Structure 1
Amino acid sequence: MMQPLQGIRVLDLSRVLAGPYCTMVLGDLGAEVIKVEPPEGDETRAWGPPFAEGESAYYLCVNRNKRDIVINLKTDEGKKILRDLALQSDVLVENFRPGTLEKFGLDFATLSQLNPKLIYCSITGFGQTGPMRDKPGYDFMIQALGGLMSITGEPEGEPMKTGVAVVDLFAGQNAVIAILAALQARTLTGRGQQLDIALFDSQLGWLANVASNYLISGKLPKRHGNAHPNIVPYQSFQASDGWFAIAVGNDRQFVRLCEVIGELELANDERFAKNSARVQNREELIGLLKSIFVTRRVREWLSALDEAEIPCGPINNFEQVFSMPQVQEREMLVKMDHPTIGELPLVGSPLKFSDTPVQYRLHPPLMGEHTEEVLRELKTKVSKL
């Protein structure tokens, strides 16, 4: 079955999370991805526990649909192999610090002379320019530096990072978008180009409405815990037996909420009738709602809120999430055969296509699993040139 990126070859020199996530998405879409590891391997192979037959869960999560080779770039032979592979590739993805690959003659300027159609995507902490270009960048420190932690956490509590490395993942998604756009541009110009994706830039772009609030008002945003800076009520509440989330996105939904809780007069109260008023009188309204929600069980509230078509949901743990029928129906939990693990469960792709669906062709590879195979193919192709 055809896939969107069928026929596109990606040379993946990246490791850890942002780059491997990008190349996994490209592989899911049908690209042929060759993951290149140094002799010591991708660092994430050792990031555990948990491990499955020696393979870390961290590594397994972002490396399916790739073949894997081990090359030592410190040798002349290794550099030659990489140049030959780049000559046969459409896209190269790397996340070395700026200037590192130039020392090996594997920078964009050098490789683009050999292959003018090459799309060369560099993912770094702070980009190829600016006073911080040489500074190493990791998700956690960029969440701190880029402002995300200042708005995450309880109002009087410690600034918090998110539970998932969102900066790495969003930078990886930005890299995918840029690569797809560059492939389209190449169909018009016949030329490749260099793509400069920074974790720091991705973090700032992700601030979206909260950044806009600050830029327009000049007021520093505060931490609201699970609440929303511009919408009320839009947060978690405690019932008699646990927590649940509610997202009242407009005034019509607020009227229905008031009906559900038996306090319709609140919908006509000038302090709460409009969202802007609810934001200004947040503490008073939330105090009232807390005293009401704690009187009944989570299941009771969710049933009543669902019937009133008010966005809401339980706060699920992972066991509850992955047992949901919706997860099964949407194929967001997939299982792949692995040579040492056996049946390997992985989170599925969120990308759904009617004609060219994602395919799970290759298990996350063992280190160097395809070195001989890829080098044999490369030798054959080079001999034909």
Structure 2
Amino acid sequence: MNIANPTVATLPVSDLPPGRSSDKFRMLDGVRVLDLTTSIAGPYSTMLLADFGADVVKVERPGGDDARHWGPPFLDGESLWFLSVNRNKKSVRLDFSGPEGREVLAGLLDKADVLVTNQLPSVQRKFGLDAQTARATRPGLVHVSLTGFGLDGPYAARPCYDLIAEGYSSVMDLTGPAASAPQKVGSPAADMLAGADAALATLAALNRRAATGQGCAIDVALAESMIRFMSPRIVPYLGSGEVPRRSGGTDSVIAIYQTFETADLPMTLGLGNDAIWKRFWEAVGDPQGAEGADVATNAARRTNRARIVERIQSILIGRPRAEWLERLEKARVPAGPIYRVDEVVQDHHFRERETFFQIAQDGRQIPQVSLGIHIDGEAAGYVSAPPRLGQHSETVLRDLLGYDPEKIETLRRSGVI
């Protein structure tokens, strides 16, 4: 198979099981979310809510969500990045720059329990979508703002993407080998973390609203979500003054916790406490390797890290990875492979856990990564495929706002929808 340019018949998605839905995840039934976000962080946040049963109405400007244009790769002309974070939603194409579109948007907002936007504070105010304006007549509304730096502070007006937030957070400075340039995380980490934070905060707000009837204004910043992710590095610096440095696949505190080469493929090894340290040396057939004051504690092992790593490497290089992983699993020593993307999707454990699935839509197969949460023994699955741009415009305006066919057609002819 030509991996660089596979045919449709050999696409990896064709090997995935069909997705299915589970009523056990309909915990947010009755909650309506108005999603005005684009790119990754906001859409990921609303997809999480949709995965738990919320009715998400995704409002897109005439050109569509920015992520619809991110590619290649594309699937039948649609960005696979977009398809990765937009399942279980309805799409309404709406130009709300003029009064007719604003009227439609106001109607949708009146029907919403939650508003999620990733517009800069000035843009929110321009369209009356800031929390103060939107909640003035809707005290029960949960207003969620997802921006790069938050709604206030010196950087509030700055545009931001995942890359920018990662740079501010220090994660890039600490990622990669010691002698290398700073490196970005291999996934849009700030986007995904901030999206998860926004969904978590929304759930907490909805819980309180159920008791009090009051909504609130939630302010999530990509940079701050990423900074919180770095707290196991930042807090030790604040308490010690020791600035951590890039160390590649090696943890600077835990010894030994890093990557190693074997006779064929690289692997990870985490000797995170004294008991695991001893079990490791028994597993490799050298129980004496765990003995001595110079290796008895993590602090001692950290001091003598270079010598210990050299010794472990000289042992592991002698046998293939699969053999070491089998031995270490039996000894209850944390270790694992370093997968490529194509390898992780083939792993039988994650296949059995329904981590990957496909959605059939209009004769095509849309690949998906599951919510990754199981409830009462069931994986989440899906309800509907990621929507085409404006796919549900007529349905939403008719069923949710009560617009008649003539009004809908007028809006369509004028380019509002």
Task: For residue 284 of structure 1, report the CA deviation from its aligned partner.
Answer: 1.3
Deviates more, 1:324-333 or 1:162-171: 324-333
Task: For residue 37 of structure 1, report the CA deviation from its aligned partner.
Answer: 0.4
- CA distance in 2: counterparts of 1:381 and 1:186, whole angstroms: 30
Task: For residue 381 of structure 1, report the CA deviation from its aligned partner.
Answer: 8.4
1:258 to 2:281 alignment? yes
Q: Name the counterpart of 1:9.
A: 32
Q: What residue ranges of structure 2 are gaps of 5+ in the alignment?
A: 1-22, 405-417
Task: For residue 356 of structure 1, report the CA deviation from its aligned partner.
Answer: 8.7
Q: Name the counterpart of 2:315.
A: 292
- CA distance in 1: counterparts of 2:330 and 2:201, whole angstroms: 42
- CA distance in 2: counterparts of 1:357 and 1:192, whole angstroms: 30
SS of residue matched to 1:365: coil
Mapping of residues 18-167 of structure 1, within 5 Å: 18-167=41-190
1:169 to 2:183 alignment? no
- CA distance in 2: counterparts of 1:168 and 1:296, whole angstroms: 40
1:231 to 2:263 alignment? no
Q: Pick one of 186, 189, 196 that aligns with 2:212.
A: 189
- CA distance in 2: counterparts of 1:278 and 1:215, whole angstroms: 24
Q: Name the counterpart of 1:369.
A: 391
CA contact 1:4–1:356 (8 Å) conserved in 2 = no
1:356–1:257 Cα change, 3 Å: closer
CA contact 1:35–1:69 (8 Å) conserved in 2 = yes
Task: For residue 119 of structure 1, report the CA deviation from its aligned partner.
Answer: 0.3
Q: Name the counterpart of 2:415.
A: none
Q: List, as ranges, runs of 4+ consecutive aligned residues in structure 1 with deviation greater than 4 Å.
A: none
Code of the residue aligned with 1:188 in structure 2: it is A
SS of residue matched to 2:136: helix
Task: For residue 134 of structure 1, report the CA deviation from its aligned partner.
Answer: 0.4
- TM-score, normalised to structure 2's length? 0.88
Q: Map Cα deviations across residues 89-139 of structure 1 (whole Å, 9 max, x no partner).
A: 100000001121211222222221232111000000000011000011111
CA contact 1:83–1:111 (8 Å) conserved in 2 = no
Q: Pick one of 370, 376, 392 that aligns with 1:354.
A: 376
Task: For residue 357 of structure 1, report the CA deviation from its aligned partner.
Answer: 6.3
Code of the residue aligned with 1:372 in structure 2: it is E
Q: Name the counterpart of 1:218.
A: 241
Q: Map Cα deviations across residues 137-165 of structure 1 (whole Å, 9 max, x no partner).
A: 11112111221111111112111111001
CA contact 2:371–2:381 (8 Å) conserved in 1 = no
1:127–1:180 Cα change, 3 Å: same
Code of the residue aligned with 2:47 in structure 1: it is M
Q: Map Cα deviations across residues 304-326 of structure 1 (whole Å, 9 max, x no partner).
A: 11121111111122222112221
- If asked which structure has higher relative contact order (CA below 8 Å, sep 6+), I would say 2
- CA distance in 1: counterparts of 2:35 and 2:399, whole angstroms: 17
Q: Pick one of 249, 254, 268 that aligns with 1:245.
A: 268
- CA distance in 1: counterparts of 2:381 and 2:370, whole angstroms: 10
1:230–1:59 Cα change, 3 Å: same
Percent of aligned pairs sharing the same letter? 38
- CA distance in 2: counterparts of 1:271 and 1:97, whole angstroms: 55
- CA distance in 1: counterparts of 2:367 and 2:274, whole angstroms: 42
- CA distance in 2: counterparts of 1:370 and 1:166, whole angstroms: 30
Task: For residue 282 of structure 1, report the CA deviation from its aligned partner.
Answer: 1.1
CA contact 1:10–1:91 (8 Å) conserved in 2 = yes
SS of residue matched to 1:380: coil
- CA distance in 2: counterparts of 1:10 and 1:126, whole angstroms: 23
SS of residue matched to 2:86: coil
Q: Name the counterpart of 2:364.
A: 342
Task: For residue 261 of structure 1, report the CA deviation from its aligned partner.
Answer: 2.4
Mapping of residues 326-337 of structure 1, within 5 Å: 326-337=349-360
Task: For residue 359 of structure 1, report the CA deviation from its aligned partner.
Answer: 4.5
- CA distance in 1: counterparts of 2:331 and 2:242, whole angstroms: 36
Deviates more, 1:38-47 or 1:110-119: 110-119
1:357–1:297 Cα change, 3 Å: closer
Q: What residue ranges of structure 1 are gaps of 5+ in the alignment?
A: none
- CA distance in 1: counterparts of 2:381 and 2:57, whole angstroms: 17
Code of the residue aligned with 2:388 in structure 1: it is L
Deviates more, 1:263-272 or 1:237-246: 263-272
SS of residue matched to 1:183: helix
Code of the residue aligned with 2:328 in structure 1: it is L
1:166–1:318 Cα change, 3 Å: same
- CA distance in 2: counterparts of 1:76 and 1:166, whole angstroms: 38
Q: Map Cα deviations across residues 49-85 of structure 1 (whole Å, 9 max, x no partner).
A: 1111111110000000000011112111111111111
